[in-house]
Amino acid sequence: MGPGGSTVIAVRAFRRFTVRVPLPAELAALGPLSQNLRWAWHAPTQELFATVDPDLWARTGDPLRVLADVDPARLAHLAADERFCARVEQIHDELRQYLAAGQWFDGFAQTHPVPAGIAYFSMEFGVSEVLPIYSGGLGILAGDHLKAASDLGLPLIGVGLFYRSGYFRQGLDRDGWQVERYPVNDPADLPMTLLTEDGAPVLVEISMPEGRTLTAQIWVVEVGRIPLLLLDSDIAANTDDALRGVTDRLYGGDQEHRILQEILLGIGGMRALREYVRITGRPEPTVFHMNEGHAGFLGTERIRELVAGGLDFDTAEAVVRASNIFTTHTPVPAGIDRFPTELVTRYLDADESGISRLLPGLPAATVVELGDEADPAVFNMAHMGFRLGQRSNGVSRLHGEVSREMFADLWPGFDAADVPIGAVTNGVHGPTWVAQRWRDFASSDEDSAPEAYAALPDETIWSTHERLRADLVDEVRRRAHASGRDRGFTEAELAWTADLFDPKVLTIGFARRAATYKRLTLMLRDPDRMRRILTDPDRPVQLVIAGKAHPADNGGKSLIQQMVRFTEDPALRDRIVFLPDYDISMARHIYAGCDVWLNNPVRPMEACGTSGMKSALNGGLNLSILDGWWDEMADGENGWAIPSAEGVADENRRDDLEAEALYTLLEETVIPLFYDRDHRGVPTRWVEMMRHTLTRLGPKVLASRMVRDYTTELYCPAAAAFEAACADDHSGARDLAAYRRALETSWGSVLIAGVEDESLDGELRVAAHVGLGGLDPETVRVQLVLGRVDDEGEIVEPAITDMSPTERDASGRTVFAVTVTPPASGHLGYTVRVLPRHDQLSHDAELGLVRYPVAG
Ligand SMILES: *Cc1c(COP(=O)(O)O)cnc(C)c1O
């Protein structure tokens, strides 16, 4: 057909561009309102854009898309509407006030020494579905961290990568097999602006092997008050395709692609941060937070900067350690980020004298040592994170414990319990994840929510939740229909989706990555039993399921397929559905509308888990294995703990036992409680649990709580340590570096040669003869460790007392002594130990050095 013909043909655009109609002057403020992602957690701004074009808003949920696609005539009409214009001005004023007003952090800073600035590095950020540069929990946590930091007023800057295709969009083929699509993110359609100076893009450069250069430009996203810097390698300056493609996809390539991304994030990210701070005049960050090991190269770049400024490597390392924080996010060994040492060495690219070209001034071999693990062929990013971060943490109490075991080898000589890895339990951002119907009750802010919920009548709690469940049912029907069309089914074949689910039926949600340990298909262990539970005529259950498998994970994809096939049984399909393309926009509906949130990971593989928290903030009751956050927060009234069969070594048997426990809990406890109604149709005991969840659990799972914890427990101490390390031309850091060198020479000769004790009048005096190998007695800590002794001879919950140097014995050893009052009875025991002692150590175990008495 010739020109003017009407055949619809799909041709791929060679280049894309967006034509923006200038906004009428009266509506100019819509510009800044659409650019700052604060709208993502500000309902009035969302309503404003919904008013501009309700259809466009419903389809896209994206202010920039609304402004790009709205009919200019509609804009002209709105510009003439005085009430609307006044509303735009009012919301814009509100944004300006939000950006300027004093927040929690300002008050806190009145009474506490605080960091001037904090840099937060992460491989992914899930701030909003309109900026799809996240894959799942880690990214959404980072997004929530930024939003809460914004609300609290922290001087924080985020640093990450801008991916042209982000993470994949998930579809299904007719057989229920996952298919991946990679839509292109066009910066012109996204709420971000290029960092420029004198009209030219600011670029960062990184030296690559064979004399090449990796160059990146920097996008700035405004997340409320927090700038998020995103590096982008897709520019003409990278003539080499491999370099240009470094930021093409998130978690998409091979090891080589991945190390390039991490080099860009850590090293390029530091350089971008320095440029941004210089140009904007913001205070230099004094604290650097690595969200997972991916960001580890930032520590090496900081050492490089300091060495370039004249410090020796050890002193520079001491400064960097003092102010770096490392958060580990996985207890799954396969989840730890590791590279072949050979690959790291290649990119460090040493010259003839062994100095890295990637990090000029640093010996390549020394950098390689930072990632040492037992296997010399492997470079471990988490190990580098711990070695370059004086403070570190896991993301729930249980995960802290598991991490102390898992990484205990990095602190030889210490029991796992003494390993200096703390815990800050994750949280989720209330204004993002709490449904508007709930937020309407707590008018002022999230801190007042518990009181507001406490005062609500049972019927109000129940009817609010029932409306949210009905909203979810609408969403499920819409998505199931769209997914069916996408898979190639006809309208006739999809007629059933119009009646899919029932707004009155107990609704259980299960949505998460299809990682093996999360056991997507545990509920299908006994398919007949599951079938009976779903289709019970009197007390039915419906289940909404979602989750993506990593594109390279065929195991995960076949779990999804198994699940999809189960849901396609005509006898079941009204009660169980798999919705493809789990992301923030879908997640919001599911968390808000489900009665029960199910989670059945293999304990203790779930570091924290946050989806159950989002459900709880909406009154959902958790039904979960006691793993991650639930292990510390389940209290018997906010949901149910699925007993885990942790001691059972046979995985199959363990799955059977835990599935059995899950079915039984559902059949005997959860379902009867849900359908136990009073004369008004309200399940009063269920509502009691909802109220308890909303008022008592809600405040504990908030990202604002998490960010306050990070501030008080990690950011402030790190800022103080940084100041101490840098003061007086880095004398603190020089001192610590010199001390570490002295320990390297002398520690090998430190020994406790003999211990004497003497009891008198209920007091115990202990004296230890310590050979110090030339160290000054003031530079070691000698301790008495005393307590009850168990059957194995272990001291349980010991009391630890410092001992003081008294005299020298005949062999020239220093005698350290102390007198204590032991408990009046019981099997007691003690030992003595020697530890390094220095003002700038954050923890006794920090250097991994300890000496106990020679056995015998
Ligand atoms: C919260 C969330 C996650 C993480 O949930 P987990 O419980 O940690 O598995 C993943 N994806 C989306 C879209 C989320 O909103």
Ligand 1 centroid to residue 373 C-alpha, Å: 31
> Which residue's alpha carbon is nearest to atom 4 within ligand 1?
137
pLDDT at 166: 86
Ligand 1 centroid to residue 612 C-alpha, Å: 9
The CATH T-level fold of domain 446-698 is: Rossmann fold (3.40.50)
pLDDT at 10: 66
Ligand 1 centroid to residue 805 C-alpha, Å: 54
Alpha-carbon distance of 315 to 303, in angstroms, equals 9
The pLDDT of residue 13 is above 90: no
**How far is CA 564 from its chain centroid?**
29
Classify residue 715 by burial, with Cβ atoms within 10 Å: 0-12, 13-18, 19+: buried
Closest CA relative to residue 518, chosen from 602, 577, 591, 426: 602
Per residue in 735-763, pLDDT (tens digit) is 999 999 999 999 999 999 999 999 988 89
Residue showing tokens 């999360």: 518
Ligand 1 centroid to residue 139 C-alpha, Å: 9
547 φ, ψ to 5°?
155, 150
Per residue in 792-815, pLDDT (tens digit) is 888 988 899 999 999 999 999 999
Ligand 1 centroid to residue 611 C-alpha, Å: 5
Averaged pLDDT of the chain: 95
Which atom of ligand 1 is closest in space to residue 512's alpha carbon? 9
> Which residue's alpha carbon is nearest to atom 8 within ligand 1?
609
How far the first Cα of the chain sits from its last, in Å, is: 97
Mutate to test the pocket of ligand 1, among 611, 625, 633 (most ligand atoms within 8 A of CB): 611
> Which residue's alpha carbon is nearest to atom 11 within ligand 1?
136
Residue 592, CB half-sphere, CA atoms under 13 Å: how many? Answer: 26
Alpha helices in 544-598 (DSSP H): 554-567, 584-593
pLDDT at 1: 40
Alpha-carbon distance of 511 to 812, in angstroms, equals 67
Alpha-carbon distance of 630 to 425, in angstroms, equals 10
Please report which confidence band the pLDDT of residue 447 belongs to, taking 50, 70 and 90 as the band edges: confident
323 φ, ψ to 5°?
-115, 5
Please report which confidence band the pLDDT of residue 19 belongs to, taking 50, 70 and 90 as the band edges: low
Which atom of ligand 1 is closest in space to residue 606's alpha carbon? 8
Map residue 292 onto helix, strand or coil. coil
Do 23 and 67 touch, CB atoms closer than 8 A?
yes
pLDDT at 851: 95
Mutate to test the pocket of ligand 1, among 140, 585, 597 (most ligand atoms within 8 A of CB): 140
Alpha-carbon distance of 436 to 439, in angstroms, equals 5
Alpha-carbon distance of 392 to 846, in angstroms, equals 11
- Where is average pLDDT lowest: 217-221, 222-226, 337-341, 443-447? 443-447
**Residues of each domain in the chain carrying CATH 2.60.40:** 750-856
Per residue in 69-122, pLDDT (tens digit) is 999 999 999 999 999 999 999 999 999 999 998 899 999 999 999 999 999 999
The pLDDT of residue 3 is above 80: no
Ligand 1 centroid to residue 340 C-alpha, Å: 30
Which atom of ligand 1 is closest in space to residue 428's alpha carbon? 1
Alpha-carbon distance of 282 to 529, in angstroms, equals 61
114 φ, ψ to 5°?
-125, 160
Which atom of ligand 1 is closest in space to residue 135's alpha carbon? 11
pLDDT at 785: 95
The pLDDT of residue 2 is above 50: no
pLDDT at 17: 64
Ligand 1 centroid to residue 740 C-alpha, Å: 42
What is the amino acid identity at position 164?
R
The CATH T-level fold of domain 114-164+190-427 is: Rossmann fold (3.40.50)
Ligand 1 centroid to residue 266 C-alpha, Å: 25
Alpha-carbon distance of 115 to 506, in angstroms, equals 48
Alpha-carbon distance of 575 to 541, in angstroms, equals 7
Q: Which two tokens stand for residue 342?
A: 């050979």
Mutate to test the pocket of ligand 1, among 144, 396, 591, 610 (most ligand atoms within 8 A of CB): 610
Ligand 1 centroid to residue 586 C-alpha, Å: 11
Do 777 and 835 touch, CB atoms closer than 8 A?
no
Name the percent of the chain lying above pLDDT 90.
92
Which atom of ligand 1 is closest in space to residue 614's alpha carbon? 1
One of 2.60.40, 1.20.1300, 1.10.3210, 2.40.160 is the CATH number of 750-856, namely 2.60.40
What is the amino acid identity at position 642?
I
Strands 814-820 and 763-771: antiparallel
Q: 590: how many CB neighbours lie within 10 A of its CB?
A: 26
What is the amino acid identity at position 399?
H
Map residue 533 onto helix, strand or coil. helix
The pLDDT of residue 9 is above 70: no
The pLDDT of residue 7 is above 70: no
Map residue 791 onto helix, strand or coil. coil
Which H, E and C letters describe 10-77, residue by residue?
CCCCCCCCCCCCCCCHHHCCHHHHHHEHHHHHCHHHHHHHHHHCHHHHHHHCCHHHHHHHCCHHHHHH
Q: Which two tokens stand for residue 46?
A: 């969302």
pLDDT at 5: 44
Peptide bond into 699 cis (omega under 30): no
Per residue in 272-281, pLDDT (tens digit) is 999 999 999 9
> Which residue's alpha carbon is nearest to atom 5 within ligand 1?
611
The pLDDT of residue 160 is above 70: yes
Find the residues whose C-beta lies inside 6 A of ligand 1: 136-137, 140, 512, 582-584, 587, 609-611, 614
Mutate to test the pocket of ligand 1, among 512, 544, 590, 599 (most ligand atoms within 8 A of CB): 512
Average pLDDT over residues 821-850: 92
Alpha-carbon distance of 376 to 406, in angstroms, equals 18
Alpha-carbon distance of 63 to 83, in angstroms, equals 20
Which atom of ligand 1 is closest in space to residue 511's alpha carbon? 9
pLDDT at 386: 97
In 149-202, at which residue ranges do the beta strands (DSSP E only) sit?
A: 156-161, 169-172, 178-181, 193-194, 196-197, 200-201
782 φ, ψ to 5°?
-110, 130
The pLDDT of residue 289 is above 90: yes
- DSSP 8-state secondary structure symbol assigned to residue 697: I
Residue 845, CB half-sphere, CA atoms under 13 Å: how many? Answer: 20
Ligand 1 centroid to residue 610 C-alpha, Å: 6
**How far is CA 743 from its chain centroid?**
36
Do 590 and 509 touch, CB atoms closer than 8 A?
yes
Output 15 or 294, whichever has higher pLDDT. 294
Closest CA relative to residue 711, chosen from 223, 118, 151, 98: 118
- DSSP 8-state secondary structure symbol assigned to residue 612: H
Ligand 1 centroid to residue 517 C-alpha, Å: 15
Which atom of ligand 1 is closest in space to residue 613's alpha carbon? 7
Q: Which two tokens stand for residue 274?
A: 């320095």
Strands 541-546 and 391-394: unpaired
pLDDT at 446: 83
Largest interatomic CA distance in the chain: 110
Average pLDDT over residues 437-442: 93
Q: Which two tokens stand for residue 429?
A: 């951002």
Q: Which two tokens stand for residue 681?
A: 């149709």
273 to each of 121, 204, 288, 323, 686, how far by Cα in Å? 10, 10, 11, 16, 50
Name the percent of the chain lying above pLDDT 70.
98
* Polymer length of the chain: 856
The pLDDT of residue 14 is above 80: no
The pLDDT of residue 260 is above 60: yes
Closest CA relative to residue 468, chosen from 440, 496, 499: 440
Ligand 1 centroid to residue 349 C-alpha, Å: 39
pLDDT at 4: 44
> Which residue's alpha carbon is nearest to atom 6 within ligand 1?
609
Ligand 1 centroid to residue 433 C-alpha, Å: 11
Ligand 1 centroid to residue 120 C-alpha, Å: 20
Classify residue 245 by burial, with Cβ atoms within 10 Å: 0-12, 13-18, 19+: middle
261 φ, ψ to 5°?
-65, -40
Alpha-carbon distance of 621 to 692, in angstroms, equals 10
pLDDT at 394: 98
Sequence-ordered list of residues with C-beta below 8 angstroms from that of 611, at least 6 positions apart, any chain: 137, 511, 512, 587, 591, 597, 599
Which atom of ligand 1 is closest in space to residue 608's alpha carbon? 8
Ligand 1 centroid to residue 613 C-alpha, Å: 10
Ligand 1 centroid to residue 614 C-alpha, Å: 9
Map residue 242 onto helix, strand or coil. helix
Map residue 570 onto helix, strand or coil. coil
Which atom of ligand 1 is closest in space to residue 141's alpha carbon? 1
pLDDT at 16: 64
**Residues of each domain in the chain carrying CATH 3.40.50.2000:** 114-164+190-427, 446-698
Ligand 1 centroid to residue 48 C-alpha, Å: 28
Per residue in 625-648, pLDDT (tens digit) is 999 999 999 999 999 999 999 989
Q: Is the alpha carbon torsion for 401, 403, 407, 411 positive or negative?
A: negative
Ligand 1 centroid to residue 499 C-alpha, Å: 28
> Which residue's alpha carbon is nearest to atom 9 within ligand 1?
512
Please report which confidence band the pLDDT of residue 332 belongs to, taking 50, 70 and 90 as the band edges: confident
Average pLDDT over residues 117-132: 97
Which atom of ligand 1 is closest in space to residue 584's alpha carbon? 13
The pLDDT of residue 8 is above 90: no
Helix (H) or strand (E) holding 486: helix 458-486
Residue showing tokens 């009181």: 451
- DSSP 8-state secondary structure symbol assigned to residue 79: H
Closest CA relative to residue 474, chosen from 500, 496, 435: 500
Which atom of ligand 1 is closest in space to residue 513's alpha carbon? 9
Which atom of ligand 1 is closest in space to residue 599's alpha carbon? 7
Closest CA relative to residue 438, chosen from 587, 597, 588, 582: 588
Ligand 1 centroid to residue 137 C-alpha, Å: 4
> Which residue's alpha carbon is nearest to atom 13 within ligand 1?
583
Per residue in 760-798, pLDDT (tens digit) is 888 999 999 999 999 999 999 999 999 999 998 889 888
The pLDDT of residue 132 is above 70: yes
Output 251 or 357, whichever has higher pLDDT. 357
Do 351 and 358 touch, CB atoms closer than 8 A?
no
Which atom of ligand 1 is closest in space to residue 582's alpha carbon? 13
Which atom of ligand 1 is closest in space to residue 591's alpha carbon? 15
